[in-house]
Amino acid sequence: MIASFTRGYTFSASHRLHTDLLSPEANRAAFGKCNNPHGHGHNYRVFVTVSGPISPQTGMVINMATLDAVVREHILSRFDHRNLNLDPLFSQLVSTTENLTIAVYNLLHAALAPAHLALVRIEETENNFFEYSGAASPAPQTLGQ
């Protein structure tokens, strides 16, 4: 029997959406107020979904304490109350929440193995949600660029 378990976490971080590949005018056009030179912050809500067989011994897909420890070590301690632009993951990437979602997935995927990380969802605001489920996700589209 296969089941999924989702657990939520919160961290606060700042960032500035900016790329040296664009002119200052093009950065402002692409990122609007999120290109503020002083940056801005979010209270990110991260949802981690692990799926797999239910253990006959524990009745769980994954031990909640194990998941909490992995997320705390690899995500919360790294990003909470930090400027995302200063993290090495974003040295060559714009610190969009799309890229953050993929980064969180990749960090957790490696740390949770052999458990199956099914999905990472990050809520940036009450209106903006981002999800990534690994390399099998659809190829990125470049609409409006």
The yes-or-no answer on residue 34 being catalytic is yes
The yes-or-no answer on residue 124 being catalytic is yes
**Does the pLDDT at position 120 exceed 70?**
yes
Candidate list 40, 81, 109, 126, residue with the active-site label: 81
Strand order in the sheet with 40-53: 82-83, 2-15, 40-53, 116-123, 129-132
The yes-or-no answer on residue 131 being catalytic is no
**Does the pLDDT at position 113 exceed 90?**
no
- Structural domains of the chain, with CATH: 2-132 (3.30.479.10)
Question: Directed axis angle between helix 64-71 and helix 97-112, to 10°?
Answer: 130
* pTM exceeds cut of 0.85: yes
Task: Collapse the DSSP code of 51 into the 3-class scheme (helix H, G, I; strand E, B; otherwise coil) and give the result.
Answer: strand
pLDDT digits (tens, 9 = 90+) for 22-41: 999 999 999 999 999 999 99
Candidate list 74, 98, 124, 131, residue with the active-site label: 124
**Does the pLDDT at position 85 exceed 70?**
yes
Candidate list 34, 74, 98, 116, residue with the active-site label: 34
